[in-house]
């Protein structure tokens, strides 16, 4: 058996659903990345600009690289909602994929080393400077969609990607993945915030996933009502995709984290910062920090008004973090402004002795929420 066959065999034994090989060359989407960054569509993802050289040249990650092995692990499952109807992206409902894929890739590298096939190597799971979707498309794992996802004709977009740069010479995959988006534009039409500007071009600054996960500050006022019930990520473009509706259920691979299974918006809004890491240990939701998750919960409560939510939001006007207070003020003004005691609470919040910038921001927040929805 050749080296390519051994890699396929070992990767399959480790449970990967998709395996392919790409050369350690600039990714096919390099020019598109350059144009995207040049247009400033990365939102606050400044690291992508800093890492541009390594994103465009994988050999800067591993100078001795001679191949890139790309793998896919399916995570498809039914839609995930909290007890009060709030939504969490399906991929984030269970164990953190960074840990799961990372362990599998380390085992793959170890087994290749044991067989005398591998010297230097480096693995990447999402967080590293590697254009995984582009390299994976070249390796035959799928085709890039109009929503800038990677689609597989059987698994849709519901799979995680990982990559290993090797100093082992492997024959690149030659067979492209079957399928294409064709004339379908379901994802473009369905995006709640209009973040998909055109086929393959996503404005991160308008993306719900970016703002509920990566954005460390207040969410844009003009987008909050469009967040709906999403508190971590967004699956809309994947859920409306015809390919996304065909995937087999593999939810048991990652399970459902207890914090998601029992989660409620009011609890996530009111939870203290202490213990946040313990409550969400092993979950991707740790990425938002306690303040980010509380901010997201407040916005969702504004979009899904309830008596219990109102009481929690009133308490959140005293939260130690400005982004949470700001979101709570917006949510109360949007969903409860005519209810007894709420206007007075908002007036007190605006009169609180804070710096001029925060006060002006709070006024703008209230005005935006009380304007046309």
> What is the greatest pairwise CA distance in the chain?
76
Of the candidates 109, 96, 102, 99, which has an alpha carbon nearest to the alpha carbon of residue 69?
109
Burial of 178 (0-12, 13-18, 19+ CB in 10 A): exposed
Q: Which stretch of DSSP H or E encloses residue 332?
A: helix 322-335
Are residues 167 and 109 in contact, defined by beta-carbon separation less than 8 angstroms? no
| Two tokens, residue 226 | 């469009």
The stretches of 90-214 forming alpha helices (DSSP H) are: 97-114, 132-138, 186-190, 208-209
Q: Rounded distance, CA 93 to CA 250, Å?
A: 12
| Two tokens, residue 175 | 């067979």
Q: Rounded distance, CA 192 to CA 187, Å?
A: 10
Residue 59 phi, psi dihedral angles, 5° rounding: -70, -15
Which residue is catalytic, options 126, 189, 235, 355? 126
Of the candidates 143, 158, 178, which has an alpha carbon nearest to the alpha carbon of residue 74?
158
Please indicate whether residue 17 is annotated as part of the active site: no
User: Catalytic residue positions?
Assistant: 126
């Amino acid at each position: 058996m050749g080296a390519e066959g051994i890699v396929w065999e070992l990767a399959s034994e480790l449970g990967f659903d998709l395996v392919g090989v790409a050369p350690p060359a600039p990714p096919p989407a390099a020019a598109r990345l350059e144009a995207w960054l040049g247009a400033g569509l990365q939102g606050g993802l400044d690291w992508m600009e800093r890492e541009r050289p390594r994103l465009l040249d994988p050999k800067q990650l591993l100078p001795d690289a001679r191949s890139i092995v790309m793998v896919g692990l399916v995570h498809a499952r039914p839609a995930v909602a909290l007890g009060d109807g709030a939504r969490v992206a399906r991929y984030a409902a269970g164990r953190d994929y960074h840990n799961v894929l990372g362990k599998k890739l380390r085992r793959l590298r170890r087994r290749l080393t044991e067989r005398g096939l591998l010297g230097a190597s480096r693995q990447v799971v999402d967080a590293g400077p590697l254009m995984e979707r582009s390299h994976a498309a070249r390796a035959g794992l799928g085709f890039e969609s109009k929503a800038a996802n990677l689609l597989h004709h059987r698994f849709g977009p519901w799979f995680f990607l990982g990559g290993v740069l090797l100093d082992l010479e492997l024959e690149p995959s030659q067979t492209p993945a079957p399928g294409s988006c064709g004339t379908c534009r379901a994802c473009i039409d369905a995006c709640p915030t209009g973040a998909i500007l055109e086929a393959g071009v996503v404005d991160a600054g308008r993306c719900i996933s970016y703002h509920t996960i990566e954005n460390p500050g207040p969410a844009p006022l003009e987008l909050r009502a469009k967040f709906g019930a999403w508190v971590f990520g967004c699956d809309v473009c994947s859920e409306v995709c015809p390919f996304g509706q065909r995937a087999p259920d593999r939810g048991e691979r990652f399970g459902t984290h207890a914090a998601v299974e029992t989660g409620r918006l009011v609890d996530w809004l009111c939870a203290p910062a202490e213990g946040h890491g313990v409550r969400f240990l092993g979950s991707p939701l740790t990425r938002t920090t306690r303040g980010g998750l509380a901010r997201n919960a407040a916005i969702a409560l504004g979009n899904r008004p309830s008596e219990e939510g109102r009481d929690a939001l009133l308490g959140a006007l005293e939260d130690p973090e400005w982004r949470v207070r700001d979101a709570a003020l917006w949510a109360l003004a949007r969903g409860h402004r005519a209810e007894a005691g709420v206007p007075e609470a908002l007036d007190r919040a605006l009169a609180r002795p804070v710096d001029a910038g925060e006060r002006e921001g709070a006024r703008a927040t209230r005005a935006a929420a009380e304007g046309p929805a």
